[in-house]
Structure 1
Amino acid sequence: MEENTMAMKLGGKSGRYSIAQNSDINVTPFVDVMLVLLIIFMVSIPAATVSIKLDMPPAEGPTSKRPDPVFISVMGPDDIYIGAQKTSMASLISDVAAALRVSDPNTPLSEQRVLVRGDKDISYADFIAVINQLQQNGYVKIGLINEDIV
């Protein structure tokens, strides 16, 4: 009479006890490890997802056209252009306001886009002075433009 237990067989023909090899796969440790890994991933994934607040533009239909932004080019300390028109730091805000009124008269000036680009030889302080001047006068939608160097 043969009696099966979990991992070995006891008994045999001669009456002596002999241990036969069991070739069945024991999946219990594998399932235990997989459940532990599942719990670790379930606990760690919500901590890894952090929400970032983005200022996304509103969805617009295909018929609405956004007005062109105003481009400010900073070429030197007192060598500033709005589009193709030369201006200075003293008259920068009034010239930007005039250019924005031409581009989109219905939107408030502080909500319109202003794009600033600087020459590669300009100092950082001169470039930041233009951006600071714009921000101090209520222009908050300022973008920076870079040029491809060939």
Structure 2
Amino acid sequence: MRAELGRRSRRAMNEINVVPYIDVMLVLLIIFMVTAPMITPSVIDLPSMNNANVPTQTRPIEVTVRQVGNLLVKDMKTNQSQEVSLAQLAAEVRKLQGSEPERPVVISAEKSIQYQAVVDAMDALQNAGIQKVGLLVKPKGK
């Protein structure tokens, strides 16, 4: 009986000591926090020209997306606007470009307009071969 009292039972330990893992992670975190500000992002050195041509200021054609399939095309030179459908958009823009095929086209829309309506207008213009298509935005803070 005495031999039984002095013996300890040898059971498998079912707990993992995570303190060393936490210590290692904290050391790695501190290393990354110290070295991250020291890393400089790569800078691209762009070529320069002495006699750069300043682009001529041409008034763009503005396409306003109101709803899906409801578009307003405005000639910024003459301030004339015309409501067109999505199918008529490319033909109307081509007509307004006339002898200036490089005349830019900008698309404007309210924030609440579905993104798909803007993409459809851009797709119709690109399919018609109109090269300079952009989005009209308002600068932040205004």
- Which interval holds the TM-score relative to the shorter structure? 0.5 to 0.7
Structure 1 residues 100-145: Cα deviation after superposition (integer angstroms, max 9, x where no partner): 11xxx2x3x2x22001101222111111000011112211211111
For residue 85 of structure 1, what is the aligned residue in structure 2?
A: 82
SS in 1 for 2:71: strand
Q: Distance in 2 between matches of 1:147 and 1:76?
A: 20
Residues 15-69 of structure 1: CA deviation (Å, up to 9, x unaligned): xxxxxxxxxxxxxxxxxxxxxxxxxxxxx99x9332569xxxx6249xxx53211
Q: Structure 1 length as normaliser, TM-score?
A: 0.52
Does 1:115 pair with 2:106? yes
Runs of 5+ unmatched residues, structure 1: 1-43
Please, what is the CA RMSD of the aligned residues?
A: 3.0
Please give the TM-score of this superposition, normalised by the length of structure 2: 0.55
Q: Given that residues 117 and 145 in structure 1 are in contact (C-alpha distance below 8 angstroms), is that contact kept between their aligned partners in structure 2?
A: yes
2:123 is aligned with what amino acid?
A: N
Q: Hey, what's the Cα distance between the residues in 1 that align with 2:71 and 2:107? A: 10
Q: Which amino acid aligns with 1:139?
A: I
Structure 2 residue identity aligned to 1:48: S
Q: Higher RCO, 1 or 2 (CA under 8 Å, sep at least 6)?
A: 2
Identity across the alignment (%): 19
Query: For the Cα contact (< 8 Å) 1:76–1:119, is it kept in 2?
Result: no
Structure 2 portions without partners, runs of 5+: 1-38, 75-80
Q: How many residues matched?
A: 93
**Equivalent-residue separation in structure 1 for 2:121 and 2:46 (angstroms):** 29
Identify the residue that residue 100 of structure 1 maps to in structure 2: 97
Runs of 4 or more, structure 1, over 6 Å off, are none
**Structure with the greater alpha carbon radius of gyration:** 1
Aligned letter for 1:89?
A: L
